[in-house]
Amino acid sequence: MATMQVTALCLVAAGILLALGVAGVPASLALVGLLLVTAVGLYLTRPAPRVQYVLGIDVGSLLSVLWLAPAVAALPLLLEPTASAEELQALGGLVGLAGMANYFLRPVYLLAYSALELLREWGSESAGR
């Protein structure tokens, strides 16, 4: 489930950066501060999730971490604090690309996890002999 949370965070953060870029807002340290204050405010006012599963997806756990999205959006601005509005849009696209890459790599993560579990089982069986 953590991979879905990371994907959702990256996509919402990308949407924030894209919206700011389209609005013509350039990057600045004040914007970074505003995004971090927004994340803290969302954390302090987050409601208890009432929705759990919708179509097999744990929506409650996704909604419980979305307060982090403004903080994730602030991270690329720390690397490029003087970005123009157009560059802010590009940074949003890169954050969204990272989120989608994480989503498409989910089967690889699950395969690696399954392989490690299988190896651990075999190791415990051979140790028990």
The reply to whether 20 falls in a domain is yes
Q: Which amino acid type is present at position 16?
A: I
Q: What is the pLDDT of residue 128?
A: 63
Q: What are phi and psi of 58, to 5 degrees?
A: -80, 85
The reply to whether 27 falls in a domain is yes
The reply to whether 82 falls in a domain is yes
Q: What is the pLDDT of residue 125?
A: 76
Most confident of 37-41, 50-54, 63-67, 125-129: 37-41
Q: CA separation (Å) from 59 to 8, 13, 49, 63, 72?
A: 10, 18, 8, 6, 20
**Nearest alpha-carbon partner for 20 in 87, 103, 82, 101:** 87
Q: What is the pLDDT of residue 1?
A: 66
Q: What is the pLDDT of residue 49?
A: 72
pLDDT at residue 24 greater than cutoff 80: yes
Q: Which domain holds residue 64?
A: 2-103
The reply to whether 17 falls in a domain is yes
Domain count, the chain: 1
User: Which of 11-20, 40-49, 65-74, 97-106 is least confident?
Assistant: 40-49
Place of tokens 């994907």: 7
pLDDT at residue 15 greater than cutoff 80: yes
The reply to whether 96 falls in a domain is yes
Q: Can you give the pTM of this predicted structure?
A: 0.84
Whole-angstrom Cα distance, residue 77 to residue 91?
Answer: 8
Q: What is the pLDDT of residue 56?
A: 75
Tell me what the pLDDT averaged over the chain comes to: 91
The reply to whether 113 falls in a domain is no
In this structure, are residues 5 and 58 in contact, taking their beta carbons and an 8 Å threshold? no
